[in-house]
Amino acid sequence: MMKPLIKICGINELKTLNELIIIKEIDFIGFIFYQDSLRNVSNNLLQQLKDIDLKEKRPVCVYVNASRSLIEETSSYFDNPVLQFHGDETNEFCKSFNKDFWKVIRVRDLSSIQNISEYHDASAILLENYEKGKYGGTGKSFDWHLLENIKTLDMKIIVSGGINIKNVHNAININPWCIDINSGVESSAGVKDLKLINEILDIYNHEI
């Protein structure tokens, strides 16, 4: 089984970021630019980010129906970022920035999975749980059995939604291209816990 990549998302303070940069198992670090999120990147942190060397970690800038100007401005602080679109953005809008992009599909049932085909220019598709009125951050998993229906697609799949030390082995066994971890490694809403991050990575290392 190929080893899934790891993304830790929702980083909103410098101390945690500096700790994540030195953890070898982490491939992507996600920064959320969405005012309604507890994990929204502040202007103060954004100014600090331009002086941070993420080393081999690739930044992922997360947006929900954001304006073109916000996307262009915030992503410019990073070297070779991935743009992650959580809202109702079209394939044409997502690709118009000439950067790699991931499109999020909120999974309610099998028909949700079929929406993947609309985003043929995406570098990867991120699947998360559908919850009415919410764009991400539900902290809950969708029915991962639905992924059996997309194994024939030539598309990189990222699994997200409530991944923690209790279910990360199930996420790994699905054999996605990448696992997106966020609220499952927080001591309280929006506050990353390095101990929980290391615990989940220990399980990850033993599962592979």
d(CA 71, CA 76): 8
| The predicted structure's pLDDT at residue 128 | 81
Closest CA to 21 of 54, 52, 58: 54
Q: Which domains does the chain have, with CATH numbers?
A: 5-207 (3.20.20.70)
193-202 burial: b if 16+ Cβ within 10 Å, else e: eeebbeebbe
pLDDT tens-digit series, residues 180-195: 999 999 999 999 999 9
The values of phi and psi at residue 34, to 5°, are -150, 110
pLDDT tens-digit series, residues 138-160: 455 656 666 665 555 678 999 98
Closest CA to 101 of 41, 150, 147, 158: 158
pLDDT tens-digit series, residues 77-128: 999 999 999 999 999 999 999 999 999 988 776 667 778 889 999 999 998 8
